[in-house]
Amino acid sequence: MNTNPSALTSTGPAAPPQSDPAPESEDRAGPSNGSPSKRGHWFSFVGAGALVAVGYMDPGNWATALASGAKYGYQLLSVVLLASLMGLLLQWVASKVGVVTGRDLAQLCRQRYSKRTTLFLWITSEIAIIACDVAEVVGSAVALQLLLGVSLTVGVLMSAVGTFAMLALQSRGQRPLQIAVTTLIFFVGFCFVVELALANPSWYGALAGLAPPAGLLRDAGMIWLAAGILGATVMPHNLYLHSALVKDHAKNGNDEAISNAMVGVNIDTFASLSLAFTVNASLLIVAAAVFHASGHYDVNDLADAHRLIAPLVGTHWASIIFAAALLACGLNATVTGTLAGQAVMEGFLQLKIARWARALLTRALAMGPALLAVGAFGEHGSNQLLVASQVVLSLQLPLAVIPLVRFASDAGLMGRWRIKRFPLALAWLCAALIVLLNGALLWQLLTDS
């Protein structure tokens, strides 16, 4: 089975694995081996954005968006918008670094930082990936319980089987997996079109919710959920993954190849993440319209949301669509988590591992906390674990964002393609906002303990 993450987005034959990326001074000129840049069409580069967008719609997003909408109505919609815009900017930066340098973020960290720093960044990245996988395990388990009536423990074990079923599609080539992922994305989008029509939200209230609430940094509950939304939307390992997926798009390294690649990559990234924002915003809007508007402010559990949505909306189809979309998101997210884990491990450690083995490793590490929470606290404990996993992602995010922005603005590394002026200022502003929000979260946790 092919273990090169970038192979998923190439429509030509996959490049052979390399023992080590080329050093900075090495000339990248050479045959493109049928790479997308040789064909020159922007749609040849479509694919990476869709795979990255999957990570923006995982079950962790569901938990944070539902809890936010139920408790605060439309108020935290501004955080979803801000997080999505930050994600769009940072994914653009990550893809640009990958295309221009021909190396992913993890490889650049290994080459430019000390061994101690590299090891620290790798460990924290793996923690983030495991936290994300916990969300996927629990979310898929809840969806299977809601649809099939199995226990959460059985659902956790079945979700592991679903991971290998999705990855097994790639044994027939990359096209079947791409088609499956894309189909599930559009299915989720269709589900939320139906849910919005059934929920009949206040669009005036949703529009007002795009303005940041005045008490955001003073309300401990808002800070906790805002950090969860940020961690669920701007995932640190997605930055590593995106740079890895596109690093072979401009193989010969000349300006024309890079320019052609960036046009396609930018279109792909913008379209895919816009769809992800639409789904995440719809989640919060549905929760605000159905639960908050009816006085159910404490609905912060996926199972409770499924149980209440049908009687509140007035049709049993609402709960069926809800569970089916949740399962589709959980299955899709397994692909992103596995690919990100491979990119991180290969980039930081130069260690290659079969995709099935990587999936087995991350799922085994994630199922422990998931089964523990399910056994100790039942359904409510699983949902608390979902939100907490997204907060872990938020806390790890600066460790990926700061090196990324430094590399992207380095003239010696990026040349004329470095980011500068307004985009650079926005990128550093994003990093500062992430650090500020995490600082406020840690302060609240320390003062409340």
378-383, Cβ contacts within 8 angstroms, sequence gap of 24 or more: 378/152, 379/142, 379/152, 379/301, 379/302, 379/303, 379/304, 380/301, 382/138, 382/141, 382/142, 382/152, 382/302, 383/63, 383/67, 383/138, 383/300, 383/301, 383/302, 383/303
Please tell me the predicted confidence (pLDDT) of residue 250: 74
Which of 8-17, 45-54, 419-428 is predicted with the least confidence, judged by mean pLDDT?
A: 8-17
Which of 198-207, 361-370, 399-408 is predicted with the least confidence, judged by mean pLDDT?
A: 361-370
State the pLDDT confidence band at 7, using cuts at 50, 70 and 90. very low
Mean pLDDT in residue range 165-169: 72
More confident residue, 416 or 17: 416
Which of 47-61, 153-167, 368-382 is predicted with the least confidence, judged by mean pLDDT?
A: 368-382
User: Considering Cα of 28, then 34, then 39, then 41, what sign does the dihedral take?
Assistant: negative
What residue spans define the domains of the chain? 48-448
Please tell me the predicted confidence (pLDDT) of residue 238: 85
Which of 6-15, 139-148, 243-252 is predicted with the least confidence, judged by mean pLDDT?
A: 6-15
CA angle 113, 105, 137 (to 5 degrees): 115
Query: What are 225-255's pLDDT values in tens digits?
Result: 887 787 667 778 889 989 988 888 777 667 8
- CB within 8 A of 406, min separation 6: which ones? none
Please tell me the predicted confidence (pLDDT) of residue 31: 32
Please tell me the predicted confidence (pLDDT) of residue 381: 53
- Please report, for residues 160, 221, 367, 371, 383, the alpha-carbon distance to residue 364 in angstroms, rounded to integers and kept in the order given: 9, 32, 5, 11, 19
pTM: 0.79
In the chain, the largest separation of any two C-alpha atoms, in whole Å, equals 64
State the pLDDT confidence band at 160, using cuts at 50, 70 and 90. confident
Q: At what angle do helices 115-148 and 355-396 cross, to 10 degrees?
A: 100
Q: What percent of the chain has pLDDT over 90?
A: 13
Q: Which one is the CATH code of 48-448: 2.130.10.10, 2.30.110.10, 1.20.1740.10, 1.10.1760.20?
A: 1.20.1740.10
Residue type present at position 440: A
Dihedral angle of Cα 189, 88, 179, 262, to the nearest 10 degrees: 140
Placement of tokens 């990559």 in the chain: 265
Please tell me the predicted confidence (pLDDT) of residue 77: 92
CB 28 within 8 A of CB 16: no
Please tell me the predicted confidence (pLDDT) of residue 407: 94
Q: At what angle do helices 302-313 and 115-148 cross, to 10 degrees?
A: 40
- Cα–Cα distance for residue pair 449/365, rounded to 1 Å: 28
Neighbours of 384 (CB within 10 A): 16
CB 291 within 8 A of CB 312: yes
| Pair of tokens at residue 164 | 């290998």
CB 191 within 8 A of CB 324: yes
- Cα–Cα distance for residue pair 121/284, rounded to 1 Å: 33
Is the per-residue pLDDT at 37 higher than 60?
A: no
